[in-house]
């Protein structure tokens, strides 16, 4: 597995990371813990060095899983986790990025992750009640204390990124980016390039849709987050099938799978982009990692992007109340 540097930071990771959220939360019932520990360790054997979790996934259970899986391999991996939510009675209860809270979360995450340092500590969502300078300052303190190595932001807007970066250099921004959500190309990616910040796209496979494994007839588990996502209504899935069909045609030409084309496209955008597809299945992990070997020529990319730009993707990527929390 090739390595990539996240921007100008010293943070070097595998070209493809592993998003661990879905193992515990978000896409239906939690998977079997022993199986997920085995999957995470297999990912390390296959060359993955970058693992993504957050206290709110579960809450808490995903960090515990990642911590247990990676404890024996700690010196070989980079662990990213996140702060910024208030958690009450085991549920998300609004945002909280007060400096004192950030420091409490760091201590609790270190214990769950069975480690003495968090490699990358992201603010999960921008908290409008707390100046970003105070947030960056709190993480700077944690870095000076040796508890955190790098500071990250998730789903932040350009002004916030600049203000945070002026206080404590931001190593990486994590946001959604894929062939069917290209909004970051307008302002975010040029800003990251200018400032030397790495980009970590989550949902690089469109929450599973771009793999071709989901269609208008798919029924999701009642606890699956996609049930409330406008882009995943039956009607919108039917309309958005055109994007999947396009990627499928390219996959056939390249003797690859649709997922591999979607990931290879992301890897081809910038050398400091590191996608973090998630999975609970070994064959899918191996398929995703195989994307790093798929070569897309400049002509392939031009054809793919030209065809994709003619498809109007239907439906918002978040329900309204969650949409309000992004791009601040």
Query: Half-sphere exposure of residue 96, counting CA atoms within 13 Å on the CB side?
Result: 15
Q: How far is 14 from 47, CA to CA, in rounded Å?
A: 7
pLDDT for 285: 98
Does the pTM exceed 0.85? Answer: yes
pLDDT for 100: 98
Long-range contacts of 238-243 (CB under 8 A, 24+ apart): 239/314, 240/180, 240/209, 240/313, 240/314, 240/315, 241/215, 241/216, 242/311, 243/179, 243/180, 243/210, 243/308, 243/311, 243/313
Query: What is the residue extent of each domain of the chain?
Result: 3-207+270-293
Strands of 124-215, DSSP E: 148-154, 170-176, 198-202
Q: How far is 215 from 237, CA to CA, in rounded Å?
A: 6
pLDDT for 96: 98
Contact status, residue 241 vs residue 218, Cβ threshold 8 Å: no
- Calculate the alpha carbon distances from 234 to 228, 241, 315 in Å: 11, 11, 11
Is 122 assigned a catalytic role? no
The catalytic residue among 57, 122, 177, 318 is 57
pLDDT for 278: 98
- Walk along the chain (328 residues) and give the pLDDT tens digit of each residue: 999 999 999 999 999 999 999 999 999 999 999 999 999 999 999 999 999 999 999 999 999 999 999 999 999 999 999 999 999 999 999 999 999 999 999 999 999 999 999 999 999 999 999 999 999 999 999 999 999 999 999 999 999 999 999 999 999 999 999 999 999 999 999 999 999 999 999 999 999 999 999 999 999 999 999 999 999 999 999 999 999 999 999 999 999 999 999 999 999 999 999 999 999 999 999 999 999 999 999 999 999 999 999 999 999 999 999 999 999 9
pLDDT for 62: 98
Q: Class of 3-207+270-293 per CATH?
A: alpha beta
């Amino acid at each position: 597995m090739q390595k990539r540097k996240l921007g100008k930071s010293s943070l070097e990771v595998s070209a493809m990371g592993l998003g661990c959220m879905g193992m515990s939360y978000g896409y239906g019932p939690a998977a079997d813990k022993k199986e997920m520990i085995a999957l995470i360790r297999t990912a390390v054997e296959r060359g993955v060095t970058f693992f993504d979790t957050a206290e709110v996934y579960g809450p808490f259970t995903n960090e515990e899983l990642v911590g247990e899986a990676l404890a024996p391999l700690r010196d070989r991996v980079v662990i990213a986790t996140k702060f910024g939510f208030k958690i009450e009675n085991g549920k998300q209860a609004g945002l909280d990025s007060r400096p004192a809270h950030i420091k409490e979360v760091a201590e609790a995450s270190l214990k769950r992750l069975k480690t003495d340092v968090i490699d990358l500590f992201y603010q999960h969502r921008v908290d409008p009640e707390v100046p970003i300078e105070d947030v960056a300052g709190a993480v700077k303190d944690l870095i000076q204390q040796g508890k955190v190595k790098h500071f990250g932001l998730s789903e932040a807007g350009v002004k916030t990124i600049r203000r945070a970066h002026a206080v404590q250099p931001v190593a990486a921004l994590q946001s959604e980016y894929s062939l069917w959500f290209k909004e970051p190309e307008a302002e975010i990616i040029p800003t990251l390039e200018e400032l030397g910040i790495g980009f970590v796209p989550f949902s690089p496979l469109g929450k599973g849709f771009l793999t071709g494994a989901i269609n208008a007839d798919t029924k999701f588990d009642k606890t699956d987050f996609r049930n409330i996502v406008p882009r995943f209504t039956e009607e919108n899935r039917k309309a958005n099938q055109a994007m999947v069909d396009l990627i499928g045609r390219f996959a056939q030409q390249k003797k690859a799978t649709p997922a591999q084309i979607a990931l290879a496209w992301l890897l081809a955008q910038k050398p400091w982009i590191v996608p973090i597809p998630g999975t609970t299945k070994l064959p899918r992990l191996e398929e995703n990692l195989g994307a790093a070997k798929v070569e897309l020529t400049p002509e392939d990319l031009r054809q793919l992007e030209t065809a994709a730009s003619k498809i109007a993707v239907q439906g918002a990527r978040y329900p309204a109340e969650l949409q309000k929390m992004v791009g601040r």
